[in-house]
Structure 1
Amino acid sequence: MSSPDGPLNDPRTADPTDRREVKRLLERTGIRPSKRLGQNFLVDRGAIETIAKLVEGSDPETIVEIGAGLGVLTRLLAGSAKRVIAIEIDGRLVEELRRRLADLDTVEIRHQDFLKFDFSPIGAGGRTLVVGSIPYRITAPIIRHLVRNRDFIERAILITQREVAEKILRSPGPGGTSLGVLVQAYAEPTFVTNLKPASFFPPPQVDSTVWTVSFTDRPRFTADPDSFFTLVKTIYGKRRKMLRSALRSLLPPEGVDLLLKEADIDGNLRGEGLDLPSLDRLASAFAAVRRRGSSGEAGSSLDRDPDRG
Structure 2
Amino acid sequence: MYKKGHASAHGLQLKKQFGQHFLRDQSVVDAMLAGVSLNAQSSIMEIGCGDGFLTKDLQQQPHARVRIFEIDPEWAEYVATTYPHERMEIVQQDILTIDFETLREHAPWTLLANLPYQITFPLFTKIQEHRDLFGESVVMIQEEVAQKFVATSGRTYSFVSVYFQHYFEFKLLKKVPPTSFVPAPRVTSRLLWFKPRAQLDVIEQEEKFWKLLKVCFHQPRRTIKNNLMQLQMDLSAIPAELLVLRAQQMTKEQFLQLWLLINTEPLITCNHKLFCNRLD
Q: Deviations over 1:133-188 (max 9, x none)?
A: 12122321122122111121122211111111112211455421212222101011
Output aligned runs, 1:39-58, within 5 Å. Answer: 39-55=20-36, 57-58=37-38
1:95 Cα deviation from its structure 2 partner: 1.2
* 1:147 and 2:128 aligned: yes
* 1:98 and 2:80 aligned: yes
Q: Which amino acid aligns with 1:239?
A: P
Output aligned runs, 1:1-309, within 5 Å. Answer: 26-28=9-11, 31-55=12-36, 57-59=37-39, 61-78=42-59, 79-102=61-84, 104-123=85-104, 126-171=107-152, 173-220=154-201, 222-249=203-230, 251-254=231-234, 256-258=235-237, 260-261=238-239, 266-289=242-265, 292-294=266-268, 299=274
Q: Which amino acid aligns with 1:88?
A: E
Alignment partner of 1:213: what SS? Answer: strand
1:119 Cα deviation from its structure 2 partner: 2.5
Provide closer, same or farther for how the CA distance between residues 129 and 149 of structure 1 changes in structure 2, counting only shifts above 3 A: same
Distance 1:174 1:27 in 2: 42
Q: Deviations over 1:24-79 (max 9, x none)?
A: 98243xx2222221100111011111112223x25462112111111222222233
Distance 1:41 1:217 in 2: 34
Provide closer, same or farther for how the CA distance between residues 221 and 184 of structure 1 changes in structure 2, counting only shifts above 3 A: farther
Asked if the contact 2:233/2:268 (under 8 Å) is kept, the reply is no
TM-score when normalising by structure 1: 0.78
Provide closer, same or farther for how the CA distance between residues 124 and 253 of structure 1 changes in structure 2, counting only shifts above 3 A: farther
Q: Deviations over 1:103-158 (max 9, x none)?
A: x1111100011111222233289432112112122321122122111121122211
Distance 1:36 1:144 in 2: 21
Consecutive aligned runs of 4 or more in structure 1 exceeding 6 Å deviation:
none
1:227 Cα deviation from its structure 2 partner: 2.2
1:295 Cα deviation from its structure 2 partner: 5.5
Alignment partner of 2:89: what SS? Answer: strand
Asked if the contact 1:139/1:160 (under 8 Å) is kept, the reply is yes
1:221 Cα deviation from its structure 2 partner: 5.1
58-67 vs 43-52, which deviates more?
58-67
- Identity of paired residues, percent? 23
Alignment partner of 1:63: what SS? Answer: strand
Alignment partner of 1:204: what SS? Answer: coil
1:265 Cα deviation from its structure 2 partner: 5.0
Asked if the contact 2:153/2:249 (under 8 Å) is kept, the reply is yes
Q: Deviations over 1:176-233 (max 9, x none)?
A: 1212222101011101110100111111011100011111012245343212211221
TM-score when normalising by structure 2: 0.86
2:278 match: none
CA RMSD of aligned residues (A): 2.5
**Structure 1: segments with no counterpart, 5+ residues:** 1-22, 301-309
Asked if the contact 1:171/1:184 (under 8 Å) is kept, the reply is no
1:92 Cα deviation from its structure 2 partner: 1.1
Asked if the contact 2:176/2:188 (under 8 Å) is kept, the reply is yes
Asked if the contact 1:185/1:221 (under 8 Å) is kept, the reply is no
Asked if the contact 2:8/2:14 (under 8 Å) is kept, the reply is no
More helix by share: 1
Provide closer, same or farther for how the CA distance between residues 105 and 286 of structure 1 changes in structure 2, counting only shifts above 3 A: farther
Provide closer, same or farther for how the CA distance between residues 176 and 124 of structure 1 changes in structure 2, counting only shifts above 3 A: farther
Distance 2:198 2:256 in 1: 17
1:293 Cα deviation from its structure 2 partner: 4.9
Provide closer, same or farther for how the CA distance between residues 167 and 225 of structure 1 changes in structure 2, counting only shifts above 3 A: same
